[in-house]
Each structure stands twice: as C-alpha cells, then as structure tokens.
Amino acid sequence: MTISAFTLARRLRAGETVFSGWCSLPYPIVAETVGREGFIAVTLEAQHGLWDMGAMLTGVAAVRQSGAAPLVRVPVGDFAMVSRVLDFGAEGIIAPMINTAADARALVAAAKYPPLGERSWGPHRVTALAGIADQAVYLREANDHVVTLAMIETRTALDNLDAIAQTQGIDGLFLGPSDLSIALSDGKTLDPLSKDVERELDRIIATAERAGKIAGAFCHTAERAVALGKRGARFLAVMSDIAMLRAGTAAALKVLKAG
Ligand code: 3PY
Ligand code: MG
C-alpha cells in the first residue's frame, strides 16, 4: 500500500510543471471550485489570507475532494501550524521568509518525521482522507510525499541561498517576488517583475537545480507562470481566487456596459 492519493511530490519528482491555484478567501467551496476547474494543486493562503483553523480543516478536505493536491502557505515562523495542516491532509507547505539554514531546519523539523525532522505523530485526519487504513504506511511514506517549499524573499535569504537549498528535507525554493522587490529596492518599490528580481530568480532556479531541488514562484498572471515554467521553475502559484473573481467580474461588466 502507498499514499496513492498524494500526487504532488510524485509529479514534481517526475519533472512535471505544476500550476497551483492560490486561495485567500476562507471558504472551502471556493478552493474546491478552483481545484475542480483543473488545477493540479490548490494552495490555501494563510499568511495574508483570511483562513482560520476551522475553515482550514474543511478547506484541505474540500481541495482533496476536488481532485487537486492541497498545499498551505503558513504565516511567518508558524511551524506549529505546519504540523497541524499536514495532519489535516495537506501535501505541501509553503513557508514564508525562510532566511537562514536555521529557519530551513525549523521548517523541516515541523514537516518531516525522524530522521529528517521532529514532526509529532497524529495524522488521523490525513490518513482517513487519503484512505490509508494502516497508519504505519503514512509514517513510512510521509517524508517522501510531503513537499516543503522555502520562500526566498529577503536579502538575508539570498545571502544564504545555497545553505537553504542544501538543507536536507527542504524540497524546493519558492520566490516571493513582491517582498523580494521591496527588499531589493530598500522599501522604495513594489515591482514583482523588476530587473533585480528577474536576476535573482535565475539564481534561485540555478541554485535549486544544483542542490537537486525544485524552484517555484508566485505569479500574478497565467502568462508569467507559463514563462517561468519555460525558465525551469516547476511549482507555480497562479493569481489568486480574489484576482480571478475580479477579472471574471470585470470581463462580464465590460461586455454588459458595451452592450
Ligand atoms: C510575495 O510575492 O512576496 C509573496 O509572498 C507571494 O504571495
Ligand atoms: Mg511575501
């Protein structure tokens, strides 16, 4: 028996490019709808998004029910939440502001069982959702099937890029282009497509590849996600539920007003 319900790590290991929805609205049915439209993964955004833990518990299950792989972006330094949402059934964690090898190790400690980390035992909901009758199977396979993505979005993280990438149990580097643009301009500009961010993105992709890890990024548009896939990034979060809702509404209103 294997964790056959988990698909994310397997796809990434096979070299596939995975596009993920990105849901800030704390409504499981919204995240499920995004998954049902065909995203391979859906990330529930709990750093700046509006999720509480009750909604998160149902949201993770709703994404799994849609056929997509659920991930969670946790708040800064909230490693307790990492273990909890993995217990709820998440397949991946995106952790913001991982600036040092020590931060990376703290993420791994919360996300992976020994010998890689120190994740505490209690996967009752995830094993039920994934149809794993024997919990020993989850213990044996979880470390390989849970994906940890360390967000690179500060100057300190860039200084420690190799050490973060090489941390055992970190599966990938994930660019936060908005925060990095603010950091690289010393707070002057928000420009996720700035030349400085572009240059560092190439370095992030190359560093991840050298370490045998994947690279990913948040993308404000689908076009950007396709372009970064061609540059070698393998996990791309695309727009957001709010952005999609606004874009769809604006497109309809444009037609109605032109009517
Ligand atoms: C950033 O761009 O800083 C992010 O965290 C992506 O949402
Ligand atoms: Mg950020």
CATH number of residue 149's parent domain: 3.20.20.60
- Tell me whether residue 150 is in a domain: yes
Query: Structure tokens of 175?
Result: 């660019």
What is the per-residue pLDDT for 1?
A: 59
- Tell me whether residue 214 is in a domain: yes
- Tell me whether residue 163 is in a domain: yes
Query: Structure tokens of 87?
Result: 């217990």
- Tell me whether residue 1 is in a domain: no
Is residue 176 within 6 Å of ligand 1 at its C-beta?
yes
Residue 230 lies in domain:
8-258
pLDDT one-digit tens code per residue, 159-170: 999 999 999 999
pLDDT one-digit tens code per residue, 19-48: 999 999 999 999 999 999 999 999 999 999
Decide: 113 and 150 in contact? Cβ < 8 Å.
no
Residues within 5 Å of ion ligand 2, judged at the Cβ atom: 153, 176, 179
Q: Ligand 2: distance of its center to the CA of 152 in Å?
A: 8
Residue 47: name the closest of 80, 83, 85, 94 by CA.
94
Question: What are the Cα distances from residue 27, in Å, to 31, 58, 59, 105, 180?
Answer: 7, 9, 7, 32, 29
Task: Give CA–CA dist 236/217, Å, rounded.
Answer: 5
What ligand is nearest to the CA atom of residue 175?
1
How many distinct structural domains can be found in the chain?
A: 1
HSE-CB of 29 using CA atoms within 13 angstroms: 0
- Tell me whether residue 38 is in a domain: yes
Mean pLDDT within 195-216: 98
Task: Give CA–CA dist 163/76, Å, rounded.
Answer: 19
Look at residue 81 and tell me whether its pLDDT is greater than 80.
yes
